[in-house]
Amino acid sequence: MTVTPALARRAWGTLETLHVTGFFAPEVAAAYERFGVPATRAGYFAARASAFGPCRPELVVATFYVFAPRLVHAAVPAVWDAAAPEEWAAARREAVATRLHDVLGEPDVAEAVDLAREACAGLTPAGRPVHAAWSAVPWPEDPLLQLWHAGLLLREHRGDGHVAALQTSGLDPVEALVTGGLASGSVDFVRSTRGWTDAEWDAGVQRLRLRGLVDDDGLTQAGRDLRDDVETVTDLLATEGWAHLGPQKVERLVELVTPLRQRMLDSGTLPDWIRSRG
């Protein structure tokens, strides 16, 4: 038996629900505020890029892919003047721990952590810059945070592959946001958080219209097919950690984490467009 891309995607999605608390929990936003950097999404850029060290904005633009360069440049390197990268990382980690324990309590996650760490041990860094940077960061001691950190490693590994799939498909950052937002029902969220102007967004939509990928009703069949292709390539590129774990252990990890995932979905921590996907 082998781990199929569909099983790998299900396992990633189960852990991802815990990991994305670091992007939406109010405790995290409050933790970033103490550093006093007023730029939009400064904390997001600083914490997620902290594994790179005090990097230049161009590295964030390149590796995060879908954010408007001006949004990144407004925050980086100002965030490093306000606090060292490890301080931003610690702020996120501590705030995430608070939210996880508030929602999930003190569950016994020892078996799930062992399985998740085994999956992470099968991830390789070549061609995965964000994952590679985070793979050098020590694991936290708190068991729930270890599960969250495993989700981070698996998510960034998958994300690096997703960028490659987007580029292969010929979708530039704005086009990736338009098509991805239409496919997932998150257009309002991505349009309001990625920093592109209305003119830049409309130009991206027009480019997609010329390619026959969108129309007045949203994604065309060709557009849906292209997004399906992007997700298929992303899934294929993201299987190695799960293949290392093996199908029976992957299924067991999904079984163990699913109740925690559901409690997080039910907690109201995550936006509606994530909760509606279950």
pLDDT of residue 233: 96
Q: Are 243 and 118 in contact (CB under 8 A)?
A: no
Q: How many domains does the chain have?
A: 1
Q: Of 30, 76, 42, 29, which is closest to residue 57 (Cα–Cα)?
A: 76
Q: For the segment 10-20, what is each residue's pLDDT rounded down to a tens digit?
A: 999 999 999 99
pLDDT range class, residue 191, cuts 50, 70, 90? very high
Plot region of 170 (φ>0 → left; ψ -120 to 50 → alpha; else → beta): left
Amino acid sitting at position 47:
A
The answer, yes or no, to whether residue 4 has pLDDT greater than 70, is yes
Query: What six digits make up the tokens of 41?
Result: 């999404």
Q: For the segment 21-50, what is each residue's pLDDT rounded down to a tens digit?
A: 999 999 999 999 999 999 999 999 999 999
Q: How many CB atoms lie within 10 A of CB 238?
A: 24
Mean pLDDT over residues 5-10, rounded?
94
The answer, yes or no, to whether residue 140 has pLDDT greater than 80, is yes
Q: Of 182, 197, 116, 105, which is closest to residue 151 (Cα–Cα)?
A: 116
Mean pLDDT over residues 210-217, rounded?
97
* DSSP one-letter code for 122: T
The answer, yes or no, to whether residue 278 has pLDDT greater than 60, is no
* DSSP one-letter code for 215: E
Distance CA 200, CA 205 (A): 9
Q: For the segment 63-98, what is each residue's pLDDT rounded down to a tens digit?
A: 999 999 999 999 999 999 999 999 999 999 999 999
Exposure pattern of 147-165 as b/e (b: 16+ CB <10 Å)?
A: bbbbbbbbbbbbbbbbbbb
Residues 6+ apart with CB under 8 A from 195: 40, 41, 67, 68, 70, 71, 72
Sign of the alpha-carbon dihedral angle for 4, 12, 219, 276: positive
116: domain range?
Answer: 5-275
pLDDT of residue 277: 62
Query: What six digits make up the tokens of 241?
Result: 């950690």
pLDDT range class, residue 271, cuts 50, 70, 90? confident
pLDDT range class, residue 259, cuts 50, 70, 90? very high
pLDDT of residue 253: 98
pLDDT of residue 276: 59
Mean pLDDT of the chain: 96
Q: How many CB atoms lie within 10 A of CB 276?
A: 11
The answer, yes or no, to whether residue 222 has pLDDT greater than 60, is yes
